[in-house]
Amino acid sequence: MGDIIVIEDLVKMFDGKTAVDHLDLRIREGELFGFLGPNGAGKTTTVRCVATLTNFDSGTITVDGYNLRRNPVEAKSRMGVIQQQVSLDKDLTIRENMISHAMYHMMGKAERDARIRELSDLFGLEEYLDKPVDSLSGGWKKRAAIVCAMLHSPRVLFLDEPTSGLDINARRLLWDVVRKLHADGTTIVLTTHYIEEAEALCDRVGIIDHGRIIALDTPQRLCEGVGSVAVEYLEGGKTQYRYFGTREDANAFASTIDTGVDVTIRKTNLEDVFVELTGKSVGGGK
């Protein structure tokens, strides 16, 4: 499969501060791609540039072969975006929000009614359709937002921190939804600062820091790059981490640590990768 999103040398500045710094990225068709990084790393800004919500200073973005600057309408028609904050119109019902979205994509009445029925059924939203937005819980609002973004059958779906602020059950439900969409062949770009979310869902992960991609690969390969086995122990009142290629090497190292010190040997995760690469936790702290 080819690349459905091509970002080349993207730069976005805010008041003289570089939010996205000469970023290059290619996302393959049908891929579930994860953008991982701390708050303020440039994930959302990059997505907002691609979604045409923010102008960028330089670089090129192509979506499904359409240059965003030259053919914005064609590019937009191929994208669906679910923003971090649920962005439904709270003065309307769920159905009216869906109809509005379908209309914005120039869908005729018969087509949009059929599609609303189909997706509401798929996401279990039928009984909520004629209710006001605020009568739904956060998880159901997110589902409604996903349906709105999916109505026009976009080829690429952007999910910006989709599970932020959701409880565990709602988060799991949303993961199922994302997996379902991915299985149906939709290209999904997921931005998150939840490590387990990226590990559970993504085919490939790009770690972004200070507006630059600092690592890009499958979660497994990224972990292997650091060392697939982690040794975690306390030294001088501070937790230390060491990474090894094999469990034998990790065991050998652990045996050299003073007895009485708690030692944990476990698989390396993306948070370890992130800390190794940036010196920061994914939440942003040192």
When the beta carbons of 11 and 200 are compared against another protein, the nearer one is: 11
Shortest separation between residue 271's beta carbon and another protein, angstroms: 30
Dist CA 198 CA 219 (whole Å):
8
> Among residues 53 and 114, whose Cβ is nearest to another protein?
53
Rounded Cα–Cα distance for residues 278 and 214 (Å):
8
Residues 42-71 that bind another protein (CB under 8 A): 51-55
| Count of residues near another protein by CB under 8 A | 31
Among 4, 7, 36, 81, binds another protein (CB under 8 A): 81
Q: Among 95, 90, 10, which residue's Cα sits nearest to residue 58?
A: 10
Structure tokens at 271: 């948070």
DSSP-based three-state secondary structure for 132: strand
Burial (Cβ within 10 Å: 0-12, 13-18, ≥19) of residue 244: buried
Find the part of the chain contacting another protein (CB under 8 A) among 30-38, 88-96, 194-202, 265-273.
88-96
d(CA 49, CA 29): 19
Site for another protein in 95-154 (CB under 8 A): 96-97, 99-101, 103-106, 148
Which region, judged by CB under 8 A, interacts with another protein, from 28-36, 92-100, 162-170, 273-281?
92-100
CB contact set of 72 (below 8 Å; sequence gap of 6+): 52
| Contact set with another protein (CB under 8 A) | 51-55, 72-74, 76-77, 79, 81, 83, 85-92, 96-97, 99-101, 103-106, 148
